[in-house]
Structure 1
Amino acid sequence: MYIGCFLGPTGRGPADDLPLIDFCYDMALAADKAGFALVNVGEQHFTGYEPYSSPFMMGAQVARHLERAWFGTTVVNLAYHNPIALAEQANLIDLLTRGKCFIGLSTGHLPFIASQWGVPASYSKDVALQRIDVALRAWAKEPGDKPLAWRTDLEEGVLALRIMPVGYRKEHPVIGFATNTDATISHAGTQGWPVALGRYNLAEAARKTAVYRAALDAAGHPDDVHTQCLALSSVTKAIVIADTDEEAWEIAERQLRGFMNFTYSVATRRTLEDTRSMKELWDDTVDGPVDIANSTFTAPEWIQASAIVGSPETVARQLLEYADAGIEGINARFVYGDFDAAEAWRGFNLFAEKVMPLVDARQIPGPAPERIRPEHLGTGAGHSGLAELFQ
């Protein structure tokens, strides 16, 4: 399997901003050393969740220090980004990671957040797709090409010269969708783009992955693209782990309830009334697929879609059930609910030591030479050698 480490803490207020950003930086480097395939950050604004706000700024901070792991965004919200600026910033991360980055894009948005950016009510998924198209055209423009006139339903401009900096990969950085809709999942497979899926139970995760695999297979992509897409595509799970199942459920009771209540209130604008223990909610079997992104979900649906709880052996067994269902990537989060650095590190370290070997955690290779722009061939996978010239 390919295990990503998702850095999505929630702070209590301004005093937590700097400590949480430092924490995310430290865990990113620890995940790289522990053999995680990706380090993923998100994009949030105004709420205290993911207080670094900018995935590109965070990516620039950690990218130069990642030796093996890819850097990923799950996700960049297209509602907040001019397409030309998006193309520039993605190219910078592509360069800094030597082509080992995945830019996950979201075509949806929360109007009550977007309005604070000045995003008009007329913004829609159609505009998001238009912005992706503009970025793709901008990436394709070479210096000698004629000026590129572009427009969306909300903006327009002319790219007279080129996107600077140039990317590391030919064509464009690895981009894809963070999505919950079958149509967009299928579109990503057809394009040869990875998909970052949300929180589902095993049945729904397997169904959506089957939709993706069918589109990916039908498109006939080259083998390296096909393999990379499956390695970078993932389902997100909170990991609650302890030496025994009983201890893990005690931690889940302390750590997950606030997280559950927060996500429920954001999704439904209501307060969750179910006060049963987390273990009771888990044992309240949900029949059939669960997609908590697109429905008014119940508490049992939430925990069965959002979390994996147990001892190292139990966690590994559940992860391998996803692998058996064709899901090769898990976006694992060790930070959830009220932030507790000691608890996050305890769970992370136990998972890295005990679970990673049990699931055969693997790395994702960088781009093959034929995928790299000619300007960069021969530069190697490492960083610039200029520093050595002045030593």
Structure 2
Amino acid sequence: MHFSIYLNPQTRGPEEDVAIIDTTIEQALRATEAGVRGIALTEHHFSGYNTYGSNFLLAANLAPQVPAETMFLLACAVPPLHNPLRLAQECNLLDVLTKGRLIVAFAAGGSPVEYAGLGRDPSVRHEQMLHNLDVLERALAKQPSDPPYEWETAFEHGSLRTRIMPAAYTPGGPRFARATQNDEGVVWTARKGWYLFTARETADAMADRLALYTRTLAESGHDQASIDRLLDWSLVQKQVIIRDTDEEAMAFALERMEEMASHQRKNFSMTGDIKDAKHLKSVVGVSPQNPQEFLDKAMIVGSPDTVQKGLRSFADVGVRHMSLLFNFGFMTPAESGRSLDLFLAEVLPALDPR
């Protein structure tokens, strides 16, 4: 099993933003120097759930600072919030800047606060994600000699006369993934031959999800070498809290979940006038507003030995890559750094000897 560090630091207000971003960069550099093989960056806007907002910009900043073999995993980009041709251009440019060490995952997102801020309608997010991805792929495939590509989304339209610039570093274009929590999405992803990004489930449930993905890849004509390549960097994401004892870690986890749940309730109260806002009760499967379910499905909490056992349970069902979030629920640098230090010193060497 190998790991990436998942960076999604929350902020309470503008007075915290710069220091949080500085800490995020420092932890990314520390983790990759210690042997963590990838950096996962997400996209959120306006809600306080992600301080840096643009995963493309942060990845471009980090790319020349980390070890040359470090993978960058955008988990995720939200197509309905983007102009699809600018998104295609940014995928290609970041592929160049990372020398092909990039996988861009797509998801529908859904925070009404984010959709409202960018002038989008969250009620059509799933349909628009699939439509915008089709526009993006057609734009990436267009050659300068092809006829103009006339495109339209629910929010924009245009005519591509030449090509997407720059060309990607990776032959055939950047590598893509889909982030999904359901069987329909897993099947769609496998049929496309994309990487699978998923989260917030138990090891047993993840075994079933991974089996469906692998089986559908084979049924879709992928050979074993291609399947292995996809499985190597498909990911399962977890929030991880490590302390010297299980009791200390659990007490801190419950405190952080309450802080996060309070922040979510405050944000949710702002969305009553936004169409389809009700789904926010759980954006990604489970919510810290239901602490036990969140602990069971979204987190691995405990001493270094307990966390190691929790991660091994996923390795035992075939998960090869885990993306771990150490900074969750408005932690201070020292609080999140404690989990990261214990992981790097006591857990990582046991699970990824390289």
Check whether TM > 0.5: yes
2:276 aligned partner: none
Distance in 2 (alpha carbons) for counterparts of 1:72 and 1:255: 26
Alignment of 1:118-133 (within 5 A): 118-120=119-121, 123-133=124-134
Alignment of 1:16-165 (within 5 A): 16-67=16-67, 68-120=69-121, 123-165=124-166
Alignment partner of 1:356 is 2:348: yes
Q: Which has the larger radius of gyration?
A: 1
Post-superposition shift, 1:108? 4.1
Mark the runs of 5 or more structure 1 residues left unpaired by the alignment: 270-290, 363-391
Assess, with a 3 A threshold, how the Cα gap between structure 1 residues 40 and 64 changes in structure 2: closer, same or farther: same
Distance in 1 (alpha carbons) for counterparts of 2:143 and 2:224: 28
Assess, with a 3 A threshold, how the Cα gap between structure 1 residues 94 and 341 changes in structure 2: closer, same or farther: same
1:272 aligned partner: none
Is contact 1:93–1:101 with CA below 8 Å preserved after alignment?
yes
Assess, with a 3 A threshold, how the Cα gap between structure 1 residues 354 and 267 changes in structure 2: closer, same or farther: farther
2:10 aligned partner: 10
Is contact 1:76–1:104 with CA below 8 Å preserved after alignment?
yes
2:279 aligned partner: none
Alignment of 1:114-263 (within 5 A): 114-120=115-121, 123-262=124-263
Is contact 1:10–1:48 with CA below 8 Å preserved after alignment?
yes
Alpha-carbon displacement from aligned partner over 1:260-288 (angstroms, at most 9, x marks no partner): 5545776899xxxxxxxxxxxxxxxxxxx
Assess, with a 3 A threshold, how the Cα gap between structure 1 residues 237 and 83 changes in structure 2: closer, same or farther: same
Is contact 2:200–2:285 with CA below 8 Å preserved after alignment?
no
**What one-letter code is carried by the residue in structure 1 that aligns with 2:62?**
V
Is contact 1:139–1:171 with CA below 8 Å preserved after alignment?
no
Distance in 1 (alpha carbons) for counterparts of 2:286 and 2:10: 23
1:343 aligned partner: 335
Post-superposition shift, 1:224? 4.5
CA RMSD in angstroms comes to 2.4
Distance in 1 (alpha carbons) for counterparts of 2:327 and 2:121: 33
Is contact 2:148–2:160 with CA below 8 Å preserved after alignment?
yes
Q: How many residues align?
A: 342
Is contact 1:8–1:335 with CA below 8 Å preserved after alignment?
yes
1:378 aligned partner: none
1:380 aligned partner: none
Post-superposition shift, 1:2? 2.1
Post-superposition shift, 1:6? 0.6
**Secondary structure in structure 2 of the residue aligned to 1:124:** helix
Post-superposition shift, 1:203? 2.7
**What one-letter code is carried by the residue in structure 2 that aligns with 1:323?**
A
Is contact 2:47–2:113 with CA below 8 Å preserved after alignment?
no
1:313 aligned partner: 305
Distance in 2 (alpha carbons) for counterparts of 1:339 and 1:196: 25
**What one-letter code is carried by the residue in structure 1 that aligns with 2:213?**
Y
Distance in 2 (alpha carbons) for counterparts of 1:295 and 1:304: 10
Worse-matched range after superposition: 298-307 or 201-210: 201-210
Is contact 1:3–1:361 with CA below 8 Å preserved after alignment?
no
In the superposition, the TM-score normalised over structure 1's length comes to 0.81
Distance in 1 (alpha carbons) for counterparts of 2:220 and 2:268: 35
Is contact 1:200–1:292 with CA below 8 Å preserved after alignment?
no
What is the identity percentage for the equivalent residue pairs of Structure 1 and Structure 2?
Answer: 32
Is contact 2:175–2:194 with CA below 8 Å preserved after alignment?
yes
Q: Which runs of 4+ in 1 moved over 6 A?
A: 264-269
Alpha-carbon displacement from aligned partner over 1:347-375 (angstroms, at most 9, x marks no partner): 1111011111211266xxxxxxxxxxxxx
2:284 aligned partner: 293
Mark the runs of 5 or more structure 2 residues left unpaired by the alignment: 271-281
**What one-letter code is carried by the residue in structure 2 that aligns with 1:143?**
P
Post-superposition shift, 1:245? 2.3
In the superposition, the TM-score normalised over structure 2's length comes to 0.89
Distance in 2 (alpha carbons) for counterparts of 1:139 and 1:85: 11
Distance in 2 (alpha carbons) for counterparts of 1:140 and 1:117: 27
Is contact 2:259–2:330 with CA below 8 Å preserved after alignment?
yes
